[in-house]
């Protein structure tokens, strides 16, 4: 199996303004497979966001090495798309312009990429809203814009840090199924951080459980439920088995970290 991303012994220590050191990650090694849907779950503060920022080269790791397609990753790359918890759109730009923003930042001609932007806006279900402004959209629609924007460079790897946590349960369920559809249609590798155990089980090929203080990988669970995944699967015994297994472990880790 080909690996798209390979982490070897990643460690991360933040040094605060007062000189206080926080050991956020310790000895994280992980091989992410080409085209897989990998979810990361773990207690608050275990370093999930830090890990994603290290993958995206937004912050440098203190120790260790990351390889992207067998080459050491040294700088942010348009081969890795990122979606954060908040959509972080430019309020004074239209939906289309927001989606084109990464192209603009790469110094590419945005006119050449308008067609792609419109296709992506349609892909995320926002056809007709190309010329709308973020304030005219609901939270779920804004998050869809952020997803389209992360896809504009057609990155083989998409990082998503709790992208649906600010949304209501219905929108969240709808968007997670949409992400699955996009993942299948566009053949991407997705690394997805969530707080929701059912969401993690429903989406993933593998689910990484992280422990805290210091942040580290506790175990990796293979979710061998059939694909395509559907909401009705969430009521099957096999789905219940995985959810219980992950929940028990996360609860134990939470108790131990107190």
Q: Return residues touching ligand ADP (CB under 6 A).
A: 14, 16, 22, 24, 44-50, 215
Residue 48: CB minimum distance to ligand ADP, A: 3
Residue 196: CB minimum distance to Mg ion, A: 13
Site residues (vs Mg ion, CB under 5 A)? 48-49
Q: Where are the beta strands (DSSP E) in 109-167?
A: 157-161
Q: Between residues 143 and 194, which has the closer beta carbon with respect to ligand ADP?
A: 194
Paired tokens of 174: 């709808």
Q: Which residue has tokens 């700088």?
A: 75
Residue 45 contact partner, candidates Mg ion, ligand ADP, none, CB within 5 to 8 A by sort of partner: ligand ADP
Q: Which residue has tokens 């040294």?
A: 74
Residue 52: CB minimum distance to Mg ion, A: 8
Residue 194 contact partner, candidates ligand ADP, Mg ion, none, CB within 5 to 8 A by sort of partner: none
Q: Between residues 25 and 141, which has the closer beta carbon with respect to ligand ADP?
A: 25
Distance from the Cα of residue 94 to its chain's centroid: 24
Residue 203: CB minimum distance to Mg ion, A: 17
Q: Between residues 47 and 140, which has the closer beta carbon with respect to ligand ADP?
A: 47
Residues 6+ apart with CB under 8 A from 193: 39, 40, 41, 48, 49, 52, 160, 161, 162
- Alpha-carbon distance values, 87 to 52, 98, 147, 149, 190 (Å): 16, 11, 8, 10, 17
DSSP conformation letters of 51-117: HHHHHTTSS--SEEEEEETTEE--S--TTEEEE-SS----TTS-HHHHHHHHHHHTT--TGGGHHHH
Tell me the residue nearest to Mg ion as measured from the CB. 49
Residue 43: CB minimum distance to ligand ADP, A: 7
Q: Between residues 17 and 71, which has the closer beta carbon with respect to ligand ADP?
A: 17
Paired tokens of 153: 């460079």
Residue 113 contact partner, candidates ligand ADP, Mg ion, none, CB within 5 to 8 A by sort of partner: none
Residue 129: CB minimum distance to Mg ion, A: 29
Q: Between residues 19 and 228, which has the closer beta carbon with respect to ligand ADP?
A: 19
Q: Which residue has tokens 């896809």?
A: 151
Residue 220: CB minimum distance to ligand ADP, A: 17
Paired tokens of 178: 């949409």
Integer-rounded Cα Rg, in Å, for the chain is 18
Residue 22 contact partner, candidates ligand ADP, Mg ion, none, CB within 5 to 8 A by sort of partner: ligand ADP
Residue 47 contact partner, candidates Mg ion, ligand ADP, none, CB within 5 to 8 A by sort of partner: ligand ADP
Q: Between residues 48 and 229, which has the closer beta carbon with respect to Mg ion?
A: 48
Q: Between residues 47 and 163, which has the closer beta carbon with respect to ligand ADP?
A: 47
SS3 221: strand
């Amino acid at each position: 199996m080909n690996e798209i991303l390979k982490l070897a012994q990643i460690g991360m220590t933040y040094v605060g303004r007062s000189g206080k050191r926080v050991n956020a990650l310790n000895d994280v090694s992980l091989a992410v497979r080409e085209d897989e849907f990998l979810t990361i779950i773990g207690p608050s503060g275990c370093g999930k966001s830090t890990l994603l920022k290290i993958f995206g080269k937004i912050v440098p790791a203190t120790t260790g090495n990351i390889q992207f397609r067998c080459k050491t990753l040294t700088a942010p790359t348009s081969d890795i798309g990122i979606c954060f918890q908040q959509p972080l759109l430019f309020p004074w730009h239209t939906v289309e312009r927001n989606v084109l923003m990464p192209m603009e930042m790469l110094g590419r001609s945005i006119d050449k990429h308008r067609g792609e932007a419109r296709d992506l806006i349609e892909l995320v279900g926002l056809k007709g809203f190309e010329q709308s402004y973020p304030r005219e959209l609901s939270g779920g629609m804004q998050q869809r814009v952020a997803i389209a924007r992360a896809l504009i460079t057609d990155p083989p790897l998409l990082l998503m840090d709790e992208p649906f946590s600010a949304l209501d349960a219905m929108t969240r369920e709808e968007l997670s199924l949409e992400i699955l559809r996009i993942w299948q249609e566009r053949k991407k590798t997705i690394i997805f951080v969530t707080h929701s155990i059912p969401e993690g089980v429903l989406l993933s090929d593998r689910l990484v459980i992280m422990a805290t203080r210091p942040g580290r990988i506790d175990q990796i669970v293979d979710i061998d439920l059939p694909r395509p995944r559907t909401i009705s699967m969430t009521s099957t015994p096999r789905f219940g088995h995985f959810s219980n297994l992950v929940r028990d472990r996360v609860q134990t880790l939470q108790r131990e970290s107190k």
